Chains A and B, each alone.
Chain A
Amino acid sequence: MSKLFKDIYDYREMIFSLVRRDLRGRYKGTVLGFLWTFVNPLLQLLVYTLVFSYILRMGIDSYYIFLIVALVPWIFFSGTINGGCEVILGASNMVKKIYFPREVLPLAYTLSSFVNMLFSFIVVFAILLFSGQGINFVALLYLPLIMLIEFILALGMALLFSAMTVYLRDLQHILGIVMMAWQFLTPIMYSEDMVPENLRGVWRLNPMTSVITAYRDILYYKQVPHINTLTEAAVLGILLLVIGELVFRRLQRNFAEEL
């Protein structure tokens, strides 16, 4: 394990250069360019707010704030999985020809999505300030922690799916559907108390439930997240990262032959 960390550390420049290239290339050739980082979540916010504030009325105060503080982290998570599952396939030329710790690829992708989320948070904070919602600075101290936990979780998933997609390319398409279902099964557009009591246990198994709940506690309810929520999120996140890495390590041995 410590060898893996050392390896990754040795290859930090490669990770940075991949992240830079990815961030630069993400919106390359588009008219709005980097602005898409802000426009994309705003447009999604607009659609969901229209539907859930005016048609399927949820009866939640300042629904758009309720929504965006969950939506931006979700876009990071689902984007990491949808795009991350292809990183090994996409770099097959390098994987077949040269050694580097293969973990570098999903890690760099997760990092660049994460940086992208940080930029999107500019929009979130702008909305919080201009809407008069305001910010609780004590609660805000927990924001980096929950971001780190979400990062760990997303990295675990990226490792898992990037390795599996090499062997089963259908996964790219399957994951598109899975992520849509996952979005509806996570309390993003609704709150956790709306889930029927007897199903809540199942909801809690979804690692994103506690992550989103924590984001919402900090930014919408302006309160320090419940310690249970944080622990659950951290335990599930680390567990999935370990599983992801174990599967990845097992599967990566044959990458060069499978590609």
Chain B
Amino acid sequence: MGINTENNEEIAVEVRNIRKCFKIYADHANQLKDRMLFWKRNRYEERKVLDDISFDVKRGEAVGLIGENGSGKSTTLKLLTKIIYPDSGTIKMNGRVSSLIELGAGFHSDMSGRENIYTNAAIFGLTKKEIDARLEKIIEFSELEEFIDNPVRTYSSGMYMRLAFAVAINVDADILLIDEILAVGDAAFQAKCFNRLREIKAKGTTIVLVSHSMGQIEQLCDRSIWIHEGKIRMEGAPRDVHPHYMDYMADVTERVSEKRKQATEQENEQAGPAAEENTKTTTEEQGDLQRYGNQKAEITSITLNRADKQNCNTLRSGEDAEIVIAYKAHEIIKNASFGIGIFRNDGVQCYGTNTVIDQLQEFDLDGIGTMTIKLEKLGLLQGSYSMDIAIECDQGIPVDYYKNAIQFDVTSRINDVGVMRVEHKWNLETKNG
């Protein structure tokens, strides 16, 4: 322990002022004819991917790189592996590097799993002796004992990835670079991979991880680096950086969904008819049973409101929100009730209720009006949702049953998982002695 403290202070990865542009050729000339005849074709556009990035990773530290798609985090990782080189700046890697970026490089489909372990591990720079020593461990980890002497072409893609991962993770590198690969195999194998990463980290391996899963990074990494448009926007403990990042991403999602909304609104306006009927035409296009009922009354508009914003398409998990349903009754509806059903975009119903279940007095509808549902501390988790809204009468006769009446997104700073949030508090009591 005492000896190690000094080593721990050593720098494993040193990145200084790296810049990288990719050349986007309009028309790539690889042939002599093209090179000589069409100089102009070699014109290219330069796209700046990384702009002056510097950071250090200490020996034994695990660092997560986060950022939007195209922000440059994967490029940074590729630079660290020396697959590509920076235009300027320096990168120093102290120790043997293994990368879990592209798994199964150099796999030969006609060779057996066992032979492929040897070739693949050799590409990682292992000697025959080292591979022999690891062979059992690799096969055991891949869970492919029965198939290891079959040619790899007979493997399913899951088996293939398992074998590839097993080789890469058993290289025993000093520095491990990982790009979004913890999505290998089924849930059980993923958990196993993740546990193995923790073990590896505990042994003092330096890890640089690119992931979109804030949860994974928080569980594994000591530090997060947020790369935004080729620059480091923020750096620090994952718990400090991630909320800012999530906030930013929520804004992005919001902008996107607003654009989408505007686009559909424009389309509808171009289509002509009054706003009231719009909802009807669009739903009719979607299918026969999207909207049904005796239509003695109809839902004319649905609005989502947030504490800080009216009429939006993005709600925030854990914050208050409201749903405003406007209706128009063509005749008096006796004993009416309202109902809602909330579905996640994979079709799972997250919640459903109506005024009868909630023991509201049945009421009569006449003319126009609105029904407002207040949602306190929204218990929906991050994701995309759709909502069914219905007006019924006389205990379940549909008047206007509107499926998928509205789509919305929920963003969250909290990383809890499941279908919905269960209100809770933790309390630890310890009894000493």
Contact A100 B123 (CB under 8 A): yes
Instruction: Give CA–CA (A96, B101) in the complex, Å.
Output: 11
Contacting residues of chain B (90-129) with chain A, CB-CB under 8 angstroms? 97, 99, 101-102, 105-106, 108, 118-119, 121-128
With contact pairs A97-B102, A99-B83 given, residues A169 and B30 touching in the complex (Cβ less than 8 Å): yes
Contact B105 A14 (CB under 8 A): no
Contact digits for A97-110, partner B, Cβ 8 Å, 1 yes 0 no: 11110000000000
Contact digits for A243-256, partner B, Cβ 8 Å, 1 yes 0 no: 00000000001101
Q: B residues within 8 A CB of A95?
A: 83
Contact of B97 among A12, A96, A99, A253 (CB under 8 A): A99
Q: B residues within 8 A CB of A98?
A: 81, 83, 99, 101-102, 105-106, 123-124
Contact A170 B105 (CB under 8 A): no
- Size bin of chain B's contact surface: 20 to 34
Residue B84, interface by CB 8 Å: yes
Instruction: Give CA–CA (A11, B126) in the complex, Å.
Output: 7
Measured CB to CB, the closest approach of chain A to B354, in angstroms, equals 55
With contact pairs A13-B131, A168-B32, A256-B84 given, residues A94 and B125 touching in the complex (Cβ less than 8 Å): no
Instruction: Give CA–CA (A29, B131) in the complex, Å.
Output: 30
With contact pairs A17-B118, A17-B122, A169-B31 given, residues A97 and B85 touching in the complex (Cβ less than 8 Å): no
Contact A14 B102 (CB under 8 A): no
Measured CB to CB, the closest approach of chain B to A3, in angstroms, equals 12
Instruction: Give CA–CA (A253, B125) in the complex, Å.
Output: 20
User: What number of A residues sit within 8 Å (CB to CB) of B?
Assistant: 26
Contacting residues of chain A (1-42) with chain B, CB-CB under 8 angstroms? 10-14, 16-17, 21
Residue B82, interface by CB 8 Å: yes
Contact A170 B31 (CB under 8 A): yes
Question: Closest A-chain residue to B126, C-beta based?
Answer: A13
Contact B122 A13 (CB under 8 A): yes
Measured CB to CB, the closest approach of chain B to A112, in angstroms, equals 15
With contact pairs A13-B122, A168-B30, A254-B85 given, residues A93 and B105 touching in the complex (Cβ less than 8 Å): yes
Q: B residues within 8 A CB of A257?
A: 22-23, 84
- Residue with the highest number of chain B CB atoms closer than 10 Å, among A10, A13, A167: A13
With contact pairs A11-B125, A168-B35, A169-B30 given, residues A94 and B105 touching in the complex (Cβ less than 8 Å): yes
Contact B123 A14 (CB under 8 A): yes
Q: B residues within 8 A CB of A17?
A: 118-119, 122
Q: A residues within 8 A CB of B118?
A: 13, 17
Instruction: Give CA–CA (A167, B102) in the complex, Å.
Output: 24
Contact of B83 among A11, A13, A167, A256 (CB under 8 A): A256
Contact B30 A167 (CB under 8 A): yes
Question: Closest A-chain residue to B29, C-beta based?
Answer: A168
Contact B83 A97 (CB under 8 A): yes
Contacting residues of chain B (25-63) with chain A, CB-CB under 8 angstroms? 30-33, 35
With contact pairs A17-B122, A100-B123, A170-B32 given, residues A94 and B85 touching in the complex (Cβ less than 8 Å): no
Contacting residues of chain A (84-98) with chain B, CB-CB under 8 angstroms? 93-98
Q: B residues within 8 A CB of A99?
A: 81-83, 97, 99
Instruction: Give CA–CA (A17, B78) in the complex, Å.
Output: 25
Contact B127 A13 (CB under 8 A): yes
Instruction: Give CA–CA (A256, B105) in the complex, Å.
Output: 14
Contact A12 B127 (CB under 8 A): yes
Q: B residues within 8 A CB of A14?
A: 119, 122-123, 125
Q: A residues within 8 A CB of B84?
A: 253-254, 256-257
Contacting residues of chain A (215-259) with chain B, CB-CB under 8 angstroms? 253-254, 256-258
Contact digits for B319-347, partner A, Cβ 8 Å, 1 yes 0 no: 00000000000000000000000000000
Q: B residues within 8 A CB of A97?
A: 83, 101-102, 105
Instruction: Give CA–CA (A168, B123) in the complex, Å.
Output: 27
Q: B residues within 8 A CB of A170?
A: 31-33
Q: A residues within 8 A CB of B101?
A: 97-98
Instruction: Give CA–CA (A257, B83) in the complex, Å.
Output: 9
Question: Closest A-chain residue to B84, C-beta based?
Answer: A256
Q: A residues within 8 A CB of B106?
A: 93-94, 98
Question: Closest B-chain residue to A169, C-beta based?
Answer: B30
Instruction: Give CA–CA (A256, B97) in the complex, Å.
Output: 18
Measured CB to CB, the closest approach of chain A to B409, in angstroms, equals 35
Instruction: Give CA–CA (A50, B125) in the complex, Å.
Output: 50
- Residue with the highest number of chain B CB atoms closer than 10 Å, among A11, A94, A98, A169: A98
Contact digits for B114-158, partner A, Cβ 8 Å, 1 yes 0 no: 000011011111111001000000000000000000000000000
Measured CB to CB, the closest approach of chain B to A12, in angstroms, equals 7
Q: B residues within 8 A CB of A256?
A: 78, 83-84
Question: Closest B-chain residue to A97, C-beta based?
Answer: B102
18 A-B pairs whose Cβ atoms sit less than 8 Å apart in the complex: A11-B122, A13-B127, A14-B122, A17-B122, A93-B105, A95-B83, A96-B102, A98-B101, A168-B31, A168-B32, A168-B35, A169-B30, A169-B31, A170-B32, A170-B33, A254-B84, A254-B85, A257-B22
Given known contacts A17-B118, A94-B123, what 16 new A-B pairs fall within 8 Å (CB)? A10-B125, A11-B122, A13-B121, A14-B123, A93-B105, A95-B83, A96-B102, A97-B83, A98-B123, A99-B97, A99-B99, A167-B30, A169-B31, A254-B85, A257-B84, A258-B30
Interface residues of B (CB under 8 A from A): 22-23, 30-33, 35, 78, 81-85, 97, 99, 101-102, 105-106, 108, 118-119, 121-128, 131
Q: Which 5 A-B pairs have the closest CB atoms?
A: A97-B102, A14-B122, A170-B32, A13-B122, A253-B85
